[in-house]
Amino acid sequence: MINTTITPFHKKLDSPLTKKAITVLQINLGRRCNLACSHCHVEAGPKRTEELSPEVCQQLVELIYKFPQIQIVDLTGGAPEMNYGFKSLVEAARENNKQVIVRSNLTIYFENGFDYLPDFFAKNQVKIVASLPCYLADNVDKMRGDGVFDASIKALQWLNKVGYATQPNLTLDLVYNPQLPNSEKFSLTPDQAKLEQDYKQFLQEKFGIVFNNLFTITNLPVGRTKFHLERKKIYAPYLQFLESSFNSSTVEHLMCRDEISVDYLGNIYDCDFNQMMNLPAKTFDGEILTVKKLLEAGNLDLIHQVQTAAYCYGCTAGSGSSCGGALL
Ligand code: SF4
Ligand code: SF4
């Protein structure tokens, strides 16, 4: 029988996981999404209503104006494009010469009122990070819903047409997530560079699509992925598998080291996974932070140590994993 005891993540580290200077502001604008994918760690969907309020959006705009140290504004959700404040945040970030990343599910461009997006993205030189968990239709539709693969292909062709992946400032990156396991036959994400070549060849030959980079992202046992693993009674074995693949060289590069993640209420976390698991970031004095408090303090670097949990083994397994793909 497999040993399912998990070593607390912080005990695996040689020293506490400290924060570096903050350069990335990741904002989760809300839970509204036109899809309801089986692996979604946010548990987003069309019936969710939580989103930014005008007040918190205004505070975030102020934060973007106030702190030149923020280099990247990374917008996620839900479908960030569907949630309140999306356009204002893109425009505020661009006015301040920050790089803007939008984590887009692609299919949103075909929903009523959202066909402006490809041109809007191109005009603002938004970097698009788009989910395409596989280049085979069946696998994508199984994870994301019927017809999602075809819509994603059309959206990618549309993005190419407005200049994405062919013009220098229009970057289009794709994300691969492994299928969720149904038994204890676990595996790590495949080699990112090799899979990128396979994706590029297939999408180019079959659909004439080009893109810049492929990111492989490990399924962290959070949100719907956690529920799935629990239903299959493989939650603890999956964590144990991730722990057995722990690679200490990834720790230096973890995305939580230099980012803050903000929820739709304006609360601050070390990353989007901690946000979903309700594990807030804390100051040196143990105080919980909000965007309002950061504005009042005039300082973004109030967090000393990153809050960790067992699912952090997902970011440190093998070549590591982050919102920007493999870490090594
Ligand atoms: S994974 Fe992305 S596209 Fe799918 S439901 Fe979640 S937020 Fe929406
Ligand atoms: S889940 Fe990953 S990114 Fe988040 S705190 Fe843990 S190691 Fe860092």
pLDDT, tens only, 67-91: 999 999 999 999 999 999 999 999 9
Question: Nearest ligand to the C-alpha of residue 256?
Answer: 2
Task: Please indicate whether residue 83, judged by its CB atom, sits closer than 6 Å to ligand 1.
Answer: no
Cβ-based neighbours of 73, under 8 Å, separated by 6 or more: 25, 27, 64, 89, 90, 93, 98, 99, 100, 101
Q: Residue 1: pLDDT above 70?
A: no
Tokens at residue 284, please?
């040196």
Q: Quick one: 9-326 is in which CATH superfamily?
A: Aldolase class I (3.20.20.70)
User: Which residue's alpha carbon is at the smallest distance from atom 4 of ligand 2?
Assistant: 271
Q: Which of 271, 278, 316, 327 to mutate to test the pocket of ligand 2 (most atoms within 8 A of CB)?
A: 271
Give the whole-angstrom CA distance, residue 140 versus residue 137.
5
Q: Residue 3: pLDDT above 70?
A: no
Distance 308 CA to ligand 2 centre (A): 6
Average pLDDT value for residue range 140-158: 95
Distance 138 CA to ligand 1 centre (A): 17
Q: Looking at per-residue confidence, does 38 or 101 come out higher?
A: 101
Give the whole-angstrom CA distance, residue 138 versus residue 65.
44
Question: Which pTM does this prediction carry?
Answer: 0.97
Q: Residue 297: pLDDT above 60?
A: yes
Residue 134 pLDDT grade (very low, low, confident, very high; cuts 50, 70, 90):
confident
> What rounded mean pLDDT belongs to the chain?
96
Using the structure block, give the residue that is written with the tokens 């973004």.
Answer: 300
C-alpha distances in Å from residue 237, one per residue of 28, 113, 186, 251, 291: 30, 44, 9, 22, 37
Distance 97 CA to ligand 2 centre (A): 27
Distance 26 CA to ligand 2 centre (A): 13
Position 283, amino acid: T
Question: Nearest ligand to the C-alpha of residue 251?
Answer: 2
Cβ-based neighbours of 103, under 8 Å, separated by 6 or more: 74, 75, 76, 77, 80, 129, 130, 131, 323
Bridging pattern class, strands 172-176 and 214-216:
parallel
Q: Which of 40, 82, 263 to mutate to test the pocket of ligand 1 (most atoms within 8 A of CB)?
A: 40
Residue 103 CA to chain centroid, in angstroms?
A: 7
Distance 43 CA to ligand 1 centre (A): 8
* DSSP state letters, 168-202: TT--EEEEE-PPPPSSS---PPPPHHHHHHHHHHH
What's the CA angle centered on 53, arms 132 and 277, to 5 degrees? 55
Q: Residue 303: pLDDT above 80?
A: yes
Which atom of ligand 1 is nearest to 34's Cα? 8
Share of the chain above pLDDT 90, in %: 94
Put residue 74 in one of left, alpha, beta given phi > 0 → left and psi -120 to 50 → alpha. beta
Ligand 2 binding residues, C-beta < 6 A: 254-256, 270-271, 273-274, 306, 308, 311-312, 315
Average pLDDT value for residue range 42-70: 97
Q: What is the pLDDT of residue 203?
A: 97
Q: What is the tens place of the pLDDT at every residue in 230-271?
A: 999 999 999 999 999 999 999 999 999 999 999 999 999 999
Which atom of ligand 2 is nearest to 222's Cα? 1
Task: Please indicate whether residue 80, judged by its CB atom, sits closer than 6 Å to ligand 1.
Answer: no
Q: What is the tens place of the pLDDT at every residue in 168-221?
A: 999 999 999 899 999 999 999 999 999 999 999 999 999 999 999 999 999 999
222: enclosing H helix or E strand: none
Position 27, amino acid: I
Sign for the pseudo-dihedral over CA of 127, 108, 141, 181: positive
User: Which residue's alpha carbon is at the smallest distance from atom 5 of ligand 1?
Assistant: 36
The candidate with the shortest Cα–Cα distance to 204, out of 165, 178, 149, is 165
233 three-state secondary structure: coil
Beta-strand ranges (E) seen in 19-157 are: 24-28, 72-76, 99-104, 127-131
Question: Nearest ligand to the C-alpha of residue 317?
Answer: 2
Sign for the pseudo-dihedral over CA of 224, 225, 226, 232: positive
Distance 255 CA to ligand 2 centre (A): 7
Give the whole-angstrom CA distance, residue 12 versus residue 14.
7
Distance 40 CA to ligand 1 centre (A): 5
324 three-state secondary structure: coil
User: Which residue's alpha carbon is at the smallest distance from atom 7 of ligand 2?
Assistant: 312
Question: Nearest ligand to the C-alpha of residue 307?
Answer: 2
